[in-house]
A and B are shown apart, each in its own frame.
Chain A
Amino acid sequence: EVQLLESGGGLVQPGGSLRLTCTASGFMFSSYAMSWVRQAPGQGLEWVSTMCNNGGCTYYADSVRGRFTISRDNSKNTLYVQMNSLRVEDTAIYYCATYFYDGGNRNFDYWGQGVLVTVSS
């Protein structure tokens, strides 16, 4: 059974930092691109970042580029996002998701339960 478990969320002051972790199990983690998606309270989904399966490529939303860094450790089946210079508008539930990419078939097929990040003074 595929499982994705996010951790590391919490309350942080504006300008502060947090590192989120997504621990994966039940599938070949090193074969999948992985993504972070967030959802502000009462709002829609916003894609944050994606990393290729081997870590060789990364993509970021403009809203987080230069402040967030995605990384992964395939030996530990773990995905990270380091979030620096946090802003109030970064407050959201953060989900990690598998990105299945096979030619014309592309989708985020598995999602974690999400972790809440609150940026407030």
Chain B
Amino acid sequence: DIQLTQSPSFLSASVGDRVTITCRASQGISRYLVWYQQKPGRAPKLLIYGASTLQTGVPSRFSGSGSGTEFTLTISSLQPEDFATYHCQQLHSYPITFGQGTRLEIK
């Protein structure tokens, strides 16, 4: 099974900050890496797929990069609505796996 490890697990930041979350895969997954945002009590929302393609309607302050085993999600200037939990997911092969999540909180 492909393990995904997100870092950090918890991040405290301020509005306007630039933040980066990393997702590392235990083996190469090409660019089959997806990022989701989840707010408390809500379903996950698709942000980025194919490691770097922004889903329609997602603000351009979100960006993704990487291939193989190391991927990053960057938010260029945090807005109040961005404080949430972020999950990475690999769709390279079954079993599909998720990272453990990164909780982003307001400092």
Contact = CB atoms under 8 A, between A and B. Distances in A.
Q: How large is the interface on B (under 10, 10 to 19, 20 to 34, 35 or more residues)?
A: 20 to 34
B34 interface: yes
Contact of B99 (A44, A101, A104, A108): A44
A59 B95 contact: yes
A107 B95 contact: no
A70 B34 CA distance: 23
Interface of A is mostly: strand
Given A107-B91, A109-B55, A47 B46 contact: no
A45 interface: yes
A49 to B, nearest CB: 10
B50 A105 contact: yes
Contact of B101 (A45, A107, A113): A45
A73 interface: no
Contacts of A89: none
A111 B39 CA distance: 13
Q: How large is the interface on A (under 10, 10 to 19, 20 to 34, 35 or more residues)?
A: 20 to 34
A107 B34 contact: yes
B44 A47 contact: no
Interface in A97-117: 101, 104-114
Given A44-B101, A46-B98, A47-B95, A104 B50 contact: yes
Interface in A32-56: 35, 37, 44-47, 50
A29 to B, nearest CB: 18
Contact of A113 (B43, B98, B99): B43
B45 A111 contact: yes
A105 B53 contact: yes
B49 A107 contact: yes
A111 B43 contact: yes
A22 to B, nearest CB: 12
